[in-house]
């Protein structure tokens, strides 16, 4: 499995699909290394939307972690192109 622990885009580069491009590159490398799935989590509802546009599906939520926010877990099946 590919686990994306941190994904951050500088504010000056946001809105240019950089997060999607970085995820795609990581996924391609993961497939080359025989990974069959990808896992990512976020506290940010906007990032959640970005990940879902990239094909990630939510599979769990940890409410009030941290207090007042939720931690969202997403996964994606990877397959060779």
Q: Residue 9's pLDDT is what?
A: 93
The predicted model gives 25-47 an average pLDDT of 96
Beta strands at 37-42 and 57-63: parallel, antiparallel or unpaired? unpaired
pLDDT score of 80: 84
- pLDDT above 90 (res 47): yes
Tokens of 71: 């931690």
**2-77 CATH fold:** Aminopeptidase (3.40.630)
Report the pLDDT value the prediction gives residue 81, as an integer from 0 to 100. 72
Which residues lie closer than 8 Å to 40 by C-beta, 6 or more apart? Answer: 3, 4, 7, 23, 51, 56, 73, 74, 75
Dihedral sign, CA of 13, 4, 60, 76?
positive
């Amino acid at each position: 499995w590919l686990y994306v622990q941190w994904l951050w885009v500088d504010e000056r580069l946001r809105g240019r699909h950089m997060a999607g491009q970085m995820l795609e590159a990581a996924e391609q490398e993961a497939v080359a290394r025989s990974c069959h799935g990808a896992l990512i989590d976020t506290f940010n509802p906007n990032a959640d939307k970005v990940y879902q546009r990239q094909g990630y599906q939510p599979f769990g939520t940890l409410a009030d972690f941290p207090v007042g926010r939720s931690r969202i877990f997403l996964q994606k099946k990877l397959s060779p192109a």
